[in-house]
């Protein structure tokens, strides 16, 4: 099966515009030429990729699958072009990192500031992704490293455990939950909740908690970061689950109370993930070392048993 990159670009444009005519105009092709290329693509794939409708076109299930792969391939091509250009400008290495919300907002800015100062000819592409995408990205090579919190349930990964991530509940002073010594997730259900944006790792985790509990929080507002969650809490809009580090940092400038969550899942180990058996460049290993040795992790490391040597992830004994 031979597929031209130009056909993938054209197909992505058709999916975006939902119109052969608009795709033809934007690609400076005639409509018959676009129709012919789509037919050849379908013949090459051996399946129907588009439904023709009076309003335009829609993707078949096979077309949706092709679109996902096409976007991945085209994104990789753009990344390759950018990376090669940077090498031409004197860069000696590039590292891609998929990380969860906590890593991106809480400690990677400081880690990268130190790392990049020590490695001026290395670039880092840091992207916030859900845990499932982080794991998949490391396994299929889309990213060089991943940073997650909580249990990792895929084989073929090497885990470098570096600290713990405790989740807490932020409430406004005087809130009914403030009077409780500890709080369970079930206690939160009846109160307005401040959520993070869809696509946030922590919000996906809270969504899974709701699914497991078969009850839904009333998500009053969704915001983009932990500081905004705490500001909404301070204003009395609702309560919010955030990492303890974020809660304590914001409590210095905001009137919020921090409540311990009496849940097993509230204390989670943080890991740097790499693909098992891969030989990483020295600068990628140096970034792992920078994350592992970041001084800000010292308090959370002291709260847990000493980390073992990096190990391959094991299948889970139960879904968590």
What residue ranges define each of the domains in the chain, with the CATH number in brackets?
Answer: 5-83 (1.10.10.10), 92-320 (3.40.190.290)
Cα(258)–Cα(15) distance, integer angstroms: 47
Number of CB atoms found within 10 A of residue 292's CB: 17
Residues of the chain with pLDDT under 70: 1, 79, 82-91, 297-320
pLDDT of residue 312: 46
Which of 273, 247, 252, 249 lies closest to 167 in space, CA to CA?
A: 247
pLDDT of residue 314: 42
pLDDT at residue 55 in the model: 83
| Model confidence, pTM | 0.62
Strand runs labelled E in 73-183: 93-99, 122-128, 145-149, 157-171
> H-helix or E-strand containing 67?
helix 61-88
Structure confidence by residue, pLDDT tens digits, 197-211:
887 888 988 998 998
Return the pLDDT at 168: 96
> Using one digit for the tens of pLDDT, what is the confidence trace for 241-257?
999 989 999 999 999 99
pLDDT for res 169? 97
Which residues contact residue 63 at a Cβ distance below 8 angstroms, ignoring those fewer than 6 apart?
A: 11, 15, 48, 49, 50
Q: How far apart are the first and last CA of the chain?
A: 40
**Rounded to the nearest 10 degrees, how much is the dihedral formed by the CA atoms of 68, 280, 151, 317?**
90
């Amino acid at each position: 099966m031979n597929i031209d990159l130009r056909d993938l670009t054209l197909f992505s444009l058709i999916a975006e515009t939902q119109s052969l005519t608009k795709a033809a105009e934007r690609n400076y092709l005639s409509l018959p030429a676009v129709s012919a290329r789509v037919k050849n693509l379908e013949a090459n794939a051996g399946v129907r990729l588009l439904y023709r409708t009076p309003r335009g076109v829609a993707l078949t299930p096979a077309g949706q699958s092709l679109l996902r792969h096409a976007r991945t391939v085209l994104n990789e091509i753009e990344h390759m072009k950018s990376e090669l250009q940077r090498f031409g400008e004197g860069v000696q290495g590039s590292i891609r990192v998929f990380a969860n919300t906590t890593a991106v907002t809480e400690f990677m800015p400081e880690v990268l500031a130190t790392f990049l100062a020590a490695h001026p000819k290395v670039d880092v592409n840091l992207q916030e992704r859900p845990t499932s995408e982080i794991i998949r990205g490391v396994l299929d090579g889309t990213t060089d490293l991943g940073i997650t919190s909580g249990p990792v349930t895929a084989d073929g990964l090497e885990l470098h455990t570096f600290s713990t991530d405790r989740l807490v509940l932020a409430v406004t002073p005087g809130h009914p939950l403030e009077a409780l010594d500890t709080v369970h997730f079930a206690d939160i259900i009846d109160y307005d909740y401040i959520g993070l944006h869809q696509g946030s790792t922590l919000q996906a985790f809270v969504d899974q908690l709701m699914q497991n509990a078969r009850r839904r929080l009333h998500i009053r507002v969704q915001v983009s970061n932990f500081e905004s969650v705490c500001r909404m809490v301070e204003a009395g809009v609702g309560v919010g689950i955030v990492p303890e580090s974020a809660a304590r940092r914001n409590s210095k400038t905001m009137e919020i109370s921090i409540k311990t969550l009496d849940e097993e899942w509230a204390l989670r180990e943080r890991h740097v993930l790499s693909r098992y058996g891969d030989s990483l460049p020295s600068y990628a290993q140096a970034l792992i070392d920078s994350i592992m040795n970041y001084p800000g992790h010292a308090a959370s490391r002291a709260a847990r048993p000493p980390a073992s040597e990096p190990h391959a992830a094991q299948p889970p004994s139960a879904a968590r």
